[in-house]
């Protein structure tokens, strides 16, 4: 019987740990006392050698991170905090590449906050020749967008 209660307690701990949401205000919770890791929005350039990927991202809170040129095998990162319900953060990015910068795509929800503010989330968008791939917290989610081509 004691053994059963013990197992139940362990199961509850794991369950709680998994669902816990940590932010600056609940650092006193033991699960959160390492603080709240920043969330990461990342754009990787895995195009052909010498291709430059042009990226500009902005949020629904009027934050604009400007234009960035990302070299092949390089990455560009934005570190951000979530703000929770009522102030949900959404970042969008414009990605462009090509001789005449003719290939482009807009990722409208490159990073989207949850209703409870989370920590340590990561969204990686990987630009490849055939399109843009997503990795969510290091889990591959596959091809999300093909490149659109502007008429010359």
Ligand X SMILES: *[C@@H]1O[C@H](CO)[C@@H](O)[C@H](O)[C@H]1NC(C)=O
Binding site for ligand X (CB under 6 A): 56-58, 92-94, 105-106, 148
Residue 39 or 103 having the CB closest to ligand X: 103
> Could you tell me the smallest distance in angstroms from the CB atom of residue 70 to ligand X?
14
> Could you tell me the smallest distance in angstroms from the CB atom of residue 43 to ligand X?
12
Residue 21 or 94 having the CB closest to ligand X: 94
Residue 58 or 77 having the CB closest to ligand X: 58
> Could you tell me the smallest distance in angstroms from the CB atom of residue 25 to ligand X?
30
> Could you tell me the smallest distance in angstroms from the CB atom of residue 97 to ligand X?
14
- Contact criterion met (CB below 8 Å) for 152 and 100: yes
Q: Could you give the C-alpha distances from 144 to 31, 41, 61, 110, 135, in angstroms and in order?
A: 34, 16, 25, 11, 10
Q: Could you give the C-alpha distances from 45 to 1, 50, 82, 122, 133, in angstroms and in order?
A: 57, 10, 25, 16, 11
Residue 115 or 148 having the CB closest to ligand X: 148
Non-local (6+) Cβ contacts of 126 within 8 A are 44, 46, 132, 133, 134, 135
């Amino acid at each position: 019987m004691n053994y059963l209660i013990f197992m139940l307690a362990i199961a509850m701990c794991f369950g709680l740990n998994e669902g816990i949401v940590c932010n600056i205000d609940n650092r006193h919770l033991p699960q959160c006392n390492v603080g709240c890791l920043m969330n990461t929005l990342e754009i990787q350039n895995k195009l052909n050698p010498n291709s430059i990927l042009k990226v500009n991202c902005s949020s629904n809170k009027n934050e604009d991170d400007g234009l960035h040129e990302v070299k092949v095998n390089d990455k560009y990162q934005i570190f951000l905090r979530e703000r929770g319900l009522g102030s949900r953060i959404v970042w969008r990015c414009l990605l462009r590449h090509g001789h005449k910068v003719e290939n482009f795509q807009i990722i409208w929800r490159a990073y989207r906050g949850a209703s409870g503010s989370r920590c340590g989330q990561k969204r990686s968008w990987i630009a490849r020749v055939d399109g843009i791939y997503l990795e969510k917290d290091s889990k591959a989610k596959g091809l999300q967008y093909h490149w659109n081509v502007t008429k010359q």
